[in-house]
Amino acid sequence: MIIYPAIDLRGGRVVRLTEGKFDQEKTYGHDPVAVAQDFAAAGATWLHVVDLDGAKDPAKRQTALVEQLAQGSKLKVQTGGGIREAAQITALLSAGAHRVIIGSLAAKQPERVTEWLQQFGPEQIILAPDVRLDEAGIPRVAAAGWQESTGLALDDFINRFLPAGLRHILCTDISRDGKLSGPNSALYAQLVKKFPTLHIQASGGVASLEDLRLLKTTGSAGAIVGRALYEHKFTLAEALAC
């Protein structure tokens, strides 16, 4: 299982949001490149970068900073945040990103995203459904910065893209994100079982080394770790070792 230390960018700063809410922001640093270099020094191989400014306003994309992160850390970078056009994917890949994250648009415009999977290839695109569990416990995909529900069941969302060669999924349980409340390991175990050809990344809630050990038993291909590192619940070196 790959550990993906996370950097969320807002105004050039390293921040974390709780449940994706911009009014619940905490700043953890003003030098993202230095943070990424520290991750590399600790033994990371990948870096997860979310451009929060780009997610709100495409005109404010921080592509140049993503390039600095990739070049300055030498880590493989997966990045996204409000991707709406193929040109944005091209720009990020040209800037040194290895994989581009597509979120809400995949739920709203699946035909366009299917074309991107075929155009750029399944290794360079990762779809990122953010989900809330309904009253029956069925994960349903949210959109628009988690402010609205599409009503689309997660399984149906994934099945739309399998014929196009989908390989990577990054799934966030919104109720766990930024809360250090533990990941929804049952959700990831179900996904791995239902979709054995996919590489499933778990996101949201990791607070301890035990959480990471539990996620590994689910068969998840990766785990996003953010706030737990910044608040010193454990070190990245400890996470990689466990």
Rounded to 10 degrees, the C-alpha dihedral 103/109/111/112 comes to: -70
Sign of CA dihedral 231, 35, 78, 238: negative
Q: What are phi and psi of 146, to 5 degrees?
A: 75, 10
Cα–Cα distance between 223 and 183 in angstroms, integer? 10
> Distance between CA 112 and CA 236 in Å, rounded?
37
| Residue 23 annotated to the active site | no
Supply angle C-alpha 160, 166, 172, rounded to 5: 80
Catalytic residue status for 8? yes
Q: Which of 31, 38, 51, 130 is catalytic?
A: 130
User: Do 51 and 9 form a contact (C-beta atoms < 8 A)?
Assistant: yes
Catalytic option among 8, 51, 53, 173: 8
Helix, strand or coil, per DSSP, at residue 63: helix
From CA 136, how far away is CA 139, in angstroms rounded?
Answer: 9
Residue showing tokens 């005109």? 59
Amino acid at 69: L
Query: Could you list the active site residues?
Result: 8, 130
